[in-house]
């Protein structure tokens, strides 16, 4: 069995590379939940929906990439936190407005809670307003 650190890293990579739920689901419980205090994600409450949202976001920013700044496991609380920065330019079609050609560089954190070696809940901490302004979406 993989450690929660290994599972979290595999999930993080699959999600951040826009692989969608098909690639992410093996690292999560069937009913994994999601939460974020960020305007674009208010309606998303299931981790499957978030993985698909990320897949869609990467079609809007095909040059998007992330850089992990910190990756930490809290064994006592059975969770893993990942702090990263995503950069990307809105050049893809679709989304809230036509391609703006504007770039974003956004800090964010995932806190992944585990049950039985799989992610049961993930919280995303992200200043969405900042990102939306940088991309020209707000």
What is the full DSSP assignment across 79-93? EEEEEEEEEEE--SS
Q: Residue 109: which CATH number? A: 3.10.450.50
User: 97: domain range?
Assistant: 4-135
DSSP state of 5: H
Answer yes or no: are the C-beta atoms of 27 and 118 closer than 8 Å: yes
Q: Number of structural domains, the chain?
A: 1
Six token digits for residue 53: 């949202």
pLDDT at 138 (0 to 100): 87
pLDDT at 65 (0 to 100): 97
Span 110-138, pLDDT tens digits: 999 999 999 999 999 999 999 999 999 98
């Amino acid at each position: 069995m993989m450690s929660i650190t290994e599972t979290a890293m595999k999930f993080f990579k699959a999600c951040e590379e826009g692989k969608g739920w098909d690639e992410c689901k093996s690292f999560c419980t069937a009913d994994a939940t999601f939460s974020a205090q960020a305007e674009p994600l208010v309606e998303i409450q299931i981790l499957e929906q978030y993985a698909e949202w990320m897949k869609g976001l990467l079609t809007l920013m095909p040059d998007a990439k992330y850089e992990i700044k910190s990756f930490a496991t809290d064994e006592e609380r059975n969770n893993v936190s990942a702090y990263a920065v995503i950069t990307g330019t809105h050049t893809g079609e679709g989304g809230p407005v036509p391609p703006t050609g504007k770039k974003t560089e956004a800090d964010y954190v995932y806190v992944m809670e585990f049950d039985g070696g799989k992610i049961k809940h993930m919280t995303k901490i992200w200043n969405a307003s900042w990102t939306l302004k940088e991309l020209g979406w707000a």
